[in-house]
Structure 1
Amino acid sequence: MGRRKQKMVSVDQVEVSDDDSMTSASTALSDHGLAQETDNIDSLEFELEKHLDALYEKRGSTRENALAGLVSAFEGHVLIDFIQNRYITLLHQYISLLKKGSAKESCLAARAVGLLSITSGCGSNTHEVMEEAIPPLSRALISGPDAVRIFVLDSLAVVTFVGSNNWEETEATMKIMWEIIHPKSLSKAGTIVKPSSAVLVAALSAWSFLLTTLTGWRVDLDMWTEMISFLCSLLEKGDRMVRIASGEAIAVIFEIVIAGKLSNVSNDLESQEDIPSKPKWFIYLLSLKEKIISLVSDLSMEAGERGLTRKPCVRICFTGRVHPETSLVVSKKQGVLTTSTWTELIQLNFLKRFLGSGFLKHAQDNELLHNVFDLIPHSESNLTTSQKRIVRSSGDRMRTQGLKRDRHLANLRKGALVFDGQD
């Protein structure tokens, strides 16, 4: 019995040793994971600090590389901690390089301003970013080359979308964009200065994106019918991308601006009843109906949009009863992002294009996109880096304690524990 007792104690000692080693290994792996994550975060922040310092260098190529590094980092990460005490410094440097830098620096700087605004998200800094950024962006839009103007239009749209406090502020930016879309001023030669197709597409896209934020019905229908008339002229001929952007703008106008007014006059523009008593704007839109139907249908077939048949394309513009639907898997936890209106689709497509490969990361972790698309945030997404470490460290300790408890219960069930003094 003595030998058996000694043997059982030995086994128990081995098992205790295994428990300790497993616990130690689990803790070590946990610590290693946290250390590795900390190293990655510290390494990224170190690189960002280097890029920020390099923005002050005299050599243009050095500043360009620094801007490119910052743009890449802000695309792929939601760097809320980094900008917390640096957003004014970053903004002022971006604006400075937008004004005095090369064309490439100006493009990168404009994009960096937009990314800074998106990263600030729902914070209190976004309105200040908008107020400081719009004047220099507007000047660059007037005098810059086409490449710069395209980046500036995107940035203007983003900083206004994120930072605007009311429709008047948004409308002011949209007016700047509309001057690009429909220029009325004459050049010194006495001819209208028309934008290139690429700039026109960017302006239409940015203008439509901001239009999606319109709420309420304080609208001048005569003004909107004039805009629709001009957009129809863009639908008639020319670059296909311009025509597509014009068609999308018309669809958003009908969905947001016209649909509410139609409900007070008629079910839709297909009604032919009592036309003389209708408002002037209704009669005018009715006169444009066949033209828009024909142009949108032709464009739909030409573009080969198999997801939208001819009839829905037509009905979208005039009734709002059929909507373009799309879906995008964000993550296992947050599920699928779906759209069912032109407003949602325009917002999704614009932000996907602007954020590029970083869209999914921002959709998962950026509070702004959670609010825009009604996404459910990850449980840790609103925590700072240090808070995430504490939560994960606490979770690791709880898992370790759970493993110890489970092994102890398993040993009790097996009757493997030996008490001192037992023969």
Structure 2
Amino acid sequence: MDLFDSDDDTCSLSSFYTMRSEIPRMDEVHVQKDVMLDQSLDALYEKRSSTREQALASIVDAFKSDLQHEFVEKNFATLLDRCLHCIKKGSTKESLLASHVIGLLALTAGLGDQAQEILEESVTPLSQALKSSSEALKITSILECLAVITFVGGANAEQTERSMQIIWQMIDPKLVSNVVATKSSPAVITTVVSSWTCLLTTVDRWTLGPKILQGTVTYLSTLLEKDDRSVRIAAGEALALMFELGILEKFDAEAKGSDNGSVKEEREALINMHRLISKVTDQVRDLAVEAGGKGCAKKDLNTQRSLFKDLVEFLEDGVAPETSIKIGGSSIETSTWCQMIQLNFLKHFLGGGFIKHMQENEFLHDVFSFTPKKIGGHSTMTNEEKRLFQSPNSAVSKARTKLMKKERMISLTRKFYSISS
């Protein structure tokens, strides 16, 4: 019996060609991702918390790895509703992931009606969740979410200032009546200040009045004395932005033009504010040259020194620090505190999705006046990105290796049959 007359062998050969045809093309990969997102959205209706957590994690990964415009166009209202439900009723992990999804949803939608709807539908549930929670992880994730959706969807100063007040009252409830002061963790304080500062970059003018302004600066001054360096750094960036925007200088004009109080009260307010600014300036100089103590994290200390040295230089010469981040063959450059604060905040929020979004997200292109370079229709990659892409442990390399093995098997089978025939 001829070995190659067997039906089994014919089936075997056929299976090799079937296997080749099953290798996914790029369009098929997109279809698979769409199916995965649809399944994850459906899973958010499941009763088991772990199932919802897994679904939310998959959505976060999908939104970071690609711009899901079609999915957002079709499903943003449903996804937003389910995420808000997870924040209200779900576990801490669910709330953390759902908050991240809502922020990514707004960044993907960009400017327009969808982003404004995301903000208006979310602000009350998020505010209520902040008031009812005592878990730092849940609070920080909601704060960052509120900052991002306001940054994208805030159409006017009133919406932005509303979010800023919701955020700020988490650490300084004196600004709001009938709120009891509670001690916040360094992580919460840092997130409050950085989120509030990010939104302050979008405000054209301070409209909350000189008394609230003085209270805010006083509070930031106390934060410069805290032991936690992340708190000091966040407070320093907030003060730097306030100096850059000229808010502190405007205090003089607003205090003098106020209809409330006597001339004596106005004079006292001005004197107190100038003393406060003088105190802050001295604090900034001290932090720029602070010596490291035993057990001090060198990286944190260097970050603090660098920030406050830049702030001292800005106060003396009016020169803001310049930064540059490589994105493929292009660079995002900042030359103001405002730009640097926005970039650092969004980079932190996007995490591993920062490069992808900076390359393809038109909203971010507009925010930073950034146009990524493309060669031959494809975005260029930095050496670091190439290293990650070419790493034998990367998903791309594993898929490439699997494909090459299949190609070799097919090639060997063809040769084998050719010789035998």
Do the two structures share a fold, i.e. TM-score over 0.5?
yes
Q: Which residue of 2 aligns with 1:349?
A: 344
Q: Which residue of 2 aligns with 1:324?
A: 321
For residues 271-301 of structure 1, the C-alpha deviation after alignment (integer angstroms, 9 at most, x for no partner) is xxxxx9x976654343224422232123233
1:288-303 pair list within 5 angstroms = 288-302=276-290, 303=301
One of 155, 158, 168 as aligned partner of 1:168: 158
Q: C-alpha separation between the residues in 2 aligned to 1:102 and 1:217?
A: 38
Give the superposition deviation at 1:185: 8.9
Give the superposition deviation at 1:43: 1.2
User: Residue 261 of structure 1 aligns to a residue in which SS?
Assistant: helix
Larger C-alpha radius of gyration, 1 or 2?
1
Q: Which residue of 1 aligns with 2:90?
A: 101
Q: C-alpha separation between the residues in 2 aligned to 1:301 and 1:129?
A: 44
CA RMSD after TM alignment? 3.1
One of 206, 225, 229 as aligned partner of 2:218: 229
Cα separation, partners in 2 of 1:220 and 1:57, compared to 1, 3 Å: same
Q: C-alpha separation between the residues in 1 aligned to 2:42 and 2:361?
A: 26
1:284 aligns with 2:286: no
Q: Which residue of 1 aligns with 2:414?
A: none
1:185–1:192 Cα contact (<8 Å) kept: no
Q: C-alpha separation between the residues in 1 aligned to 2:267 and 2:367?
A: 35
One of 312, 315, 330 as aligned partner of 1:314: 312
2:327–2:372 Cα contact (<8 Å) kept: no
Cα separation, partners in 2 of 1:219 and 1:319, compared to 1, 3 Å: farther
**One-letter amino acid of the structure 1 residue matched with residue 104 of structure 2:** L
Q: C-alpha separation between the residues in 2 aligned to 1:118 and 1:230?
A: 31
Cα separation, partners in 2 of 1:121 and 1:175, compared to 1, 3 Å: same
2:288–2:305 Cα contact (<8 Å) kept: no
Q: Which residue of 1 aligns with 2:181?
A: 192
User: Residue 327 of structure 2 aligns to a residue in which SS?
Assistant: strand
1:304 aligns with 2:302: yes
User: Residue 39 of structure 1 aligns to a residue in which SS?
Assistant: helix
One of 67, 77, 96 as aligned partner of 1:88: 77
1:358 aligns with 2:346: no
1:159 aligns with 2:157: no
Q: C-alpha separation between the residues in 1 aligned to 2:42 and 2:105?
A: 17
**Which runs of 5 or more residues in structure 2 are unaligned?**
1-20, 255-263, 291-300, 379-421
1:255–1:320 Cα contact (<8 Å) kept: no
User: Residue 370 of structure 2 aligns to a residue in which SS?
Assistant: coil
2:324–2:334 Cα contact (<8 Å) kept: yes
One of 33, 42, 46 as aligned partner of 1:44: 33
Q: Which residue of 2 aligns with 1:208?
A: 197
Q: Across the two proteins, how many residue pairs are aligned to each other?
A: 334
Q: C-alpha separation between the residues in 1 aligned to 2:251 and 2:180?
A: 38
1:308–1:324 Cα contact (<8 Å) kept: no
Q: C-alpha separation between the residues in 1 aligned to 2:225 and 2:267?
A: 26
Q: Which residue of 1 aligns with 2:369?
A: 374
Q: Which residue of 2 aligns with 1:76?
A: 65
One of 334, 337, 349 as aligned partner of 1:339: 334
Q: C-alpha separation between the residues in 1 aligned to 2:41 and 2:275?
A: 57
Cα separation, partners in 2 of 1:231 and 1:260, compared to 1, 3 Å: closer
Q: C-alpha separation between the residues in 2 aligned to 1:142 and 1:191?
A: 11
The structure with higher relative contact order (CA 8 Å, sep 6+) is 1
User: Residue 184 of structure 1 aligns to a residue in which SS?
Assistant: helix
Q: Which residue of 1 aligns with 2:103?
A: 114
Q: C-alpha separation between the residues in 1 aligned to 2:175 and 2:207?
A: 28
Cα separation, partners in 2 of 1:101 and 1:263, compared to 1, 3 Å: closer
**Which runs of 5 or more residues in structure 1 are unaligned?**
1-31, 266-275, 382-423
Q: Percent identity?
A: 41
Q: Pick which of 109-118 and 305-314 moved more.
A: 305-314
For residues 63-102 of structure 1, the C-alpha deviation after alignment (integer angstroms, 9 at most, x for no partner) is 1100000011111211111111110011111111111111
User: Residue 236 of structure 1 aligns to a residue in which SS?
Assistant: coil
Q: C-alpha separation between the residues in 1 aligned to 2:65 and 2:334?
A: 24
Give the superposition deviation at 1:209: 0.5
Calculate the TM-score normalised by the size of structure 2: 0.72
Cα separation, partners in 2 of 1:47 and 1:346, compared to 1, 3 Å: same
1:187–1:193 Cα contact (<8 Å) kept: no
Give the superposition deviation at 1:186: 11
1:150–1:202 Cα contact (<8 Å) kept: yes
